[in-house]
A and B are shown apart, each in its own frame.
Chain A
């Protein structure tokens, strides 16, 4: 409970955002929209960490630091992903994920 807002509300927001992100990952066709859904997932996890930290362990800062690092890693990963997407675009002139199926049987 943090000043009237129970922990479970934070967690539910995180859960909903997480599953919306997964839905977007599974459904969207454009590679960049898939990347955006991945960012949604990462953010939901951040909210969870921060909520646990503030409400269950108010004297510590682990949750926050973890979140900082997650943000850093997400940034690195997004940049590399964009680089790959640009490469794919140069080769195939479209970035439809259904057309990228060469690693199959």
Chain B
């Protein structure tokens, strides 16, 4: 039995680096912070690879071939009662190790990239310490042994995201975006907390292994109590999903994700493409046995929300001109597909295909989406602009960026033999087995994905070169190396037999490539690619004609369907006026008034009592004599033993 307690280092190293860089980063040259942060991440990347190798290939499997859930470290932190306690520890099972690999790899790449991208920035040291904080929080979330530890790290991830989005704190838009992200996710976390409370109240435990094991109290208790037509388990699962939906930018809690692009591009790559936004998917996957056994209605909610978000985001992405916004909506769409896959999944072996597909897509998406963002960063770095219209013909100037970007676009469009094809194919297969309508929705989404990604690609790299202030330079080596590494992973990750490692009940199974699903998927991807080539490879007026033809719909899509305006209306007109104002009045006049009144009464009382110390000798003597007389009266005549 291999001792896995070294995995606690995977959490401790970034935490220590965060504290060190935060406190002492200023004393050294900026490059030192970069090197220290990157070195730390290198170490934990190697440790994760080692853990994965040892778990998947050496000792992870139990006798019957199932992968076990191992508690590498578990320290009791707070005890509420005998069975209800919060621990801090490291849980190793297939999906957590997969997430370890994803997070450490992408974070490591982003660290190396940032040394080049953030060169010369004033807050270089601060950036690296925040990156380490984020890595620590995300890793803690992923290996959490109980739901409360996950919640704690969930909030920490939110804080790191806030700090990193608002990194350029002198820019008003960045500050507003960071506040928006934090508030929206915090609001969703309220649902998460309510879900945790209901869950732990009915089952009496926070521990994941107990909750998702075969004799889980979740399966027995909580069944009898019904509220408004749904059992308590369903309610708690729905609430927990609300928390996950906030973090994963599902409709209608998605409004923070496009604005979060105000942060530096490495942040977008790390947090808003590969790791933090998939935390919601991971949460549902972690609690999947409970979802599938006691709350199938909640899974239906997951499925519908995921499907709707994916097509909603895909439509909006077709109309946006800021390259980072296009990528943000693309992320939302892909995560919608992951949620959809989880929603349609069953449990056990081939039934759990959706689960496996979702995890596989999470894995591949992390790599090609972060590659897309980092390449976008290289482009922005070269051209000093974010907007598609101001670019064009860059393939002459940025060859490496061009090649890697193309690989990523092919992957996300589902063109074989890249990794995106394999994972998307599994999702479509799972969807097909469940029901036809949503399967067609996801096919449309795949087509739209190919279309808007290649629209992006052609607008940047083909067409007439725009008027640039100075010739765009290819990015420095630190940045291009990471692009190439991520492109290599994208090329070959599809060939990993994922179902042998990750499955819904941790029993490996064999998943086949079903040509009846694969061929239509490839065709729809190629269709999107062709249309985009026709519209955008050379400058044409077809897009504008179609835009005008669709009239109001395209206008609404460009304005993101006015969801932001709706939120602003609700908060400003309704919440501020009808809720915040009365509460503020109450606070100012009644709570403050009580305090002020207390001090006023004290003041007045003391003012009146002051007269006793008047300095008048005869008044003192009078009080003295009266006191003596009273005492004499009391003790002589009134005191009866």
Contact = CB atoms under 8 A, between A and B. Distances in A.
Given A22-B625, A26-B625, A98 B613 contact: no
Contacts of A102: 615
B610 A98 contact: no
Interface residues of B, number: 10
Contacts of A101: 614-616
Most chain B CB atoms below 10 A, which of A22, A101, A105: A105
B621 A26 contact: yes
A103 B613 CA distance: 8
Contacts of B618: 25-27, 97-98
20 contacts: A22-B625, A25-B618, A26-B618, A26-B621, A26-B622, A26-B625, A27-B618, A97-B616, A97-B618, A98-B618, A100-B615, A100-B617, A101-B614, A101-B616, A102-B615, A104-B614, A104-B615, A105-B610, A105-B613, A105-B614
A25 B621 contact: yes
A84 to B, nearest CB: 12
Interface string B596-627: 00000000000000100111111001100100
A27 B617 CA distance: 11
Q: How large is the interface on A (under 10, 10 to 19, 20 to 34, 35 or more residues)?
A: 10 to 19
Most chain B CB atoms below 10 A, which of A26, A100, A101: A26
A97 B622 CA distance: 14
A105 B610 CA distance: 7
Contacts of B615: 100-104
Contacts of A34: 617
Interface of B: 610, 613-618, 621-622, 625
A31 to B, nearest CB: 9
Given A34-B617, A105-B613, 6 more contacts: A22-B625, A25-B621, A26-B621, A97-B616, A101-B615, A104-B613
Contacts of A27: 618
B100 to A, nearest CB: 71
A15 B343 CA distance: 103
Nearest to B611: A105
Contacts of A98: 616, 618
Nearest to B614: A104
A51 B616 CA distance: 36
Interface in A77-105: 97-98, 100-105
Interface string A4-15: 000000000000
Nearest to A25: B621
Nearest to A101: B615
Nearest to B606: A105
Contacts of B625: 22, 26
A34 B610 CA distance: 25
Contacts of A104: 613-615
10 tightest A-B CB contacts, nearest first: A101-B615, A104-B615, A105-B613, A105-B610, A103-B615, A26-B622, A26-B618, A104-B613, A104-B614, A101-B616
A39 to B, nearest CB: 16
A97 B615 CA distance: 10
A99 B614 CA distance: 11
Contacts of B614: 101, 104-105
Contacts of A100: 615, 617
B617 A97 contact: yes
Interface string A35-75: 00000000000000000000000000000000000000000
